[in-house]
Chains A and B, each alone.
Chain A
Amino acid sequence: MSIRRLYESTFIINAALEDSEVDEVVKRVTDYIEEHGGSFVELNKWGRRRLAYPIKKKYNGFYVYAAFEAPANSIPLLERFMILEDNVLRHLTMQLDPKLREFRKMRAEAQALRAAQMAAEANKPVSTPASAEASN
C-alpha cells in the first residue's frame, strides 16, 4: 500500500468534440482515477479556451482541472492512460501544495468580491440618475 497524496491534474480535451463527447471523456478519466483508489476533492471544468499555440493543429481546447487524493503508485498508470486517450491533447499532474490551494481560494474570493463591487458600481450610476429624475 502506497502513500496517499493530494494531486492536481489539468488536462486539455479536443474542443472539436460535441459537449456530450467531452463529458464522456471527462467521465472516463475521472472513473479511471476513482477505480485506482482516488477520491475527488475538486473537479472544475474551465470550458473551451483558445490555446496559446496550436496543439495537433487545433486552436481551441476544453480545459478540465481536477484535484484528488490518490495512492502514489496510481499516478504513473494515470499518466499512461492520459497519453493513450486520443482526445486528451495535453495533461499535467502535479502534487498539490495545500498552501497553493489556500492561495487560490483566497484569490478567487477576492476576485469575486471585486467583481461584486464592480457590478455594484456599474449599477449605481444607472440607478442614481433614474432616482434623481424621479425625485425631480
Chain B
Amino acid sequence: MAAPTGNNPNPNTINSPFRQKRNQPKKRTNPLKKSRMIDYLDPKFLGRFTNDQGKILPRRITGVTALQQRRLCSAIKYARHLALLPFVAQDTR
C-alpha cells in the first residue's frame, strides 16, 4: 500500500496533467540551432558542454543533435590540444 506519491503534500500535483510519468524522460530541448556552426577556437562556447572536471557531457544531457554532438566532441578535443580547454580541470591549482 506504500504508494510512491503518498508523501506528496499537495494532492493537486498528483493528478495534474503536467505531472510526468515515472519512467518518462524529460523532453529534451536542443540548446543550439540546427545549423549552428561549431568553432573549435571558442573555448567559452565549448566549455558549456563540459562538466566542472572538464569531461565532455553526453548527448543525454546536452540535448544537441547527433551530428552536432560529434562535431562538438572533436572540437573540444582540438581545443584541448591547443590548451584552450583543460583535459582535467581543477587540477593545477
Chain A contact residues, CB within 8 Å of chain B: 10, 12, 51-55, 61, 63, 65, 90, 92, 94, 99-100, 103-104, 107
- The smallest beta-carbon distance between B50 and chain A, in angstroms, is 11
For chain B, residues 39 to 93, give those with C-beta under 8 angstroms from any C-beta of chain A. 39-41, 43, 78, 80-88, 91-92
Chain B contact residues, CB within 8 Å of chain A: 37, 39-41, 43, 78, 80-88, 91-92
Instruction: Enumerate the 6 nearest inter-chain pairs by beta-carbon distance, A residue then B residue, closest first.
Output: A51-B83, A103-B37, A52-B86, A52-B83, A53-B86, A52-B85
Q: Which of B40, B82, B85, B92 contacts A12, CB < 8 Å?
A: B82
B37 contacts A61, CB within 8 Å? no
B83 contacts A90, CB within 8 Å? yes
User: Which chain B positions have C-beta within 8 A of A55?
Assistant: 83
B39 contacts A100, CB within 8 Å? yes
User: Which chain B positions have C-beta within 8 A of A54?
Assistant: 92
- The smallest beta-carbon distance between A6 and chain B, in angstroms, is 15
- The smallest beta-carbon distance between B12 and chain A, in angstroms, is 44
B83 contacts A103, CB within 8 Å? no
User: Which chain A positions have C-beta within 8 A of B39?
Assistant: 100, 103-104, 107
Q: Which of A12, A104, A107 contacts B83, CB < 8 Å?
A: A12
